[in-house]
Amino acid sequence: MRKKGEMAGESMYKVIVADDEPFMLEGWRTMIDWQGCGYELCGTATDGEEALELIGTVNPDLVVTDIQMPVLDGLGLIRTMREELRYDSQIVIVTGYSEFGYAQQAIRYRVNEYVLKPLVPEEIHELLRSMIVPLDLQRQEMEQLYAGEQFAAAELLDTPAEVNGTLEETDLEKMTSHAKQMLSFMEAGDVKGITHAIDEMLEEMQTLRSGLSLAQSIVLYIHGELLRKYRVLGEDSMLLQEQAWHQTERWITGDLKELFVRITETFASAGQGDPGSGGLVTEAVQYLKQHYRSKIKLQQLANHIHVNAAYLGQQFKREMGVSFSEYVHRLRIEEARRLLRRTNMKISDIAFELGYHDAEYFTEKFKALTGELPSLYKNNSQG
């Protein structure tokens, strides 16, 4: 939250945002209801060095930073905060899917959450509200330490074994090993294995000095990997948005264990099928093949299969080799060729039938994809 030993007396939590994209910064300023979620946006920065100056002035409880920035990038900013300045502020990383592997390097510096581009206000608001509990606990710890009640504070938040503000190398290796093992149990659909693993982790969390920090890092790693590889799991599209990922105080009650078992069962029921992005694209293609005649937008399709539109567009192009809109045009033009070969429909009627309200635009797309005008194709195909 703040430098160790400093007490935070304000009711609102102070936030700064670092991002080199003006459009993103404007989004953080205008799209997010900071006050309604219990925060005060105290400033923005366009690179890591500017953010460090702002941190020294504002002394924030929460730092939101993009990964890719000039002068000093997000990871460098976080490293400096933890190792040199010894700030305990909560940290949220803003990242795209292509940067996720790089972003995970920040785990050892105790990053609390990831925000995936583009910004979705409802998701940001939910995340900010979910962070109030750990912020409250951390504030209580700081106030108790300030009053000399260190033992009471330790009951709330265990202090991890640290070297210059980071997890020790042995703890980091243990975290990575546990996380990968648990992730493999989940992806293999091994309910017995994941149940045993989560029990062991929760036991360590309560008995080891660095148990809580290790457990949080393990859960963050697994959550990040699942988001990177799958985004949506099976029919329950909200599994990766569950509050149990963030609310550490509910893990002991079994919420985290229940969540991990549900995810493992989802993989088990999927068998050899891929419930991840490949499954999303397959579902998208099936939907398009049934609805390409109507006016359909990417956002409409994304809403239908419960996934972020920008992410669906990225995955669709990566796996299909063409954009969503281009694929729709190809489906329509292929059907147009069939109608031109087998019917006597007018070209304008075919265009309207296939969702084009402008015959000239239809003609342009037809020629672009087939190399000839629809009238010439009709004459040639019908002899």
Chain segment 319-373, per-residue pLDDT in tens: 778 888 888 998 899 889 888 888 889 999 999 989 888 889 899 999 988 888 9
CA distances from 199 to 147, 180, 181, 215, 252 (A): 36, 16, 14, 11, 10
| Burial classification of residue 371, based on how many CB atoms lie within 10 Å of its CB (0-12 exposed, 13-18 middle, 19 or more buried) | exposed
Q: Which two tokens stand for residue 174?
A: 């243990």
Q: Which two tokens stand for residue 131?
A: 């962070």
pLDDT band at 279 (very low <50, low <70, confident <90, very high): low
CA dist 294 and 336 (Å) reads: 14
Chain segment 109-137, per-residue pLDDT in tens: 778 787 877 788 888 998 899 888 888 87
pLDDT band at 40 (very low <50, low <70, confident <90, very high): very high
What pLDDT is attached to residue 374? 92
Q: Is 158 left (phi over 0), alpha (psi -120 to 50) or beta?
A: beta
Assessment of whether the complete model's pTM goes beyond 0.85: no
| Burial classification of residue 319, based on how many CB atoms lie within 10 Å of its CB (0-12 exposed, 13-18 middle, 19 or more buried) | middle
Residues contacting residue 165 through CB under 8 Å, at least 6 positions apart: 82, 83, 86, 109
Alpha helices in the chain (DSSP H): 22-30, 34-37, 48-58, 74-79, 100-103, 121-130, 132-146, 150-156, 169-187, 191-207, 211-229, 255-270, 277-291, 298-304, 309-320, 324-342, 347-353, 359-370, 374-381
CA dist 324 and 313 (Å) reads: 6
CA dist 149 and 294 (Å) reads: 66
What pLDDT is attached to residue 350? 93
- Residue 102, pLDDT > 70, answer no
What pLDDT is attached to residue 142? 60
- Residue 164, pLDDT > 70, answer no
What pLDDT is attached to residue 16? 95
Chain segment 51-78, per-residue pLDDT in tens: 988 888 888 999 999 888 887 888 888 8
CA distances from 228 to 112, 225, 340, 373 (A): 16, 5, 44, 43
With CA atoms as reference, report the closest residue to 245 among 371, 84, 133. 133
Other residues' Cβ atoms within 10 Å of the Cβ of residue 158? 18
What pLDDT is attached to residue 289? 85
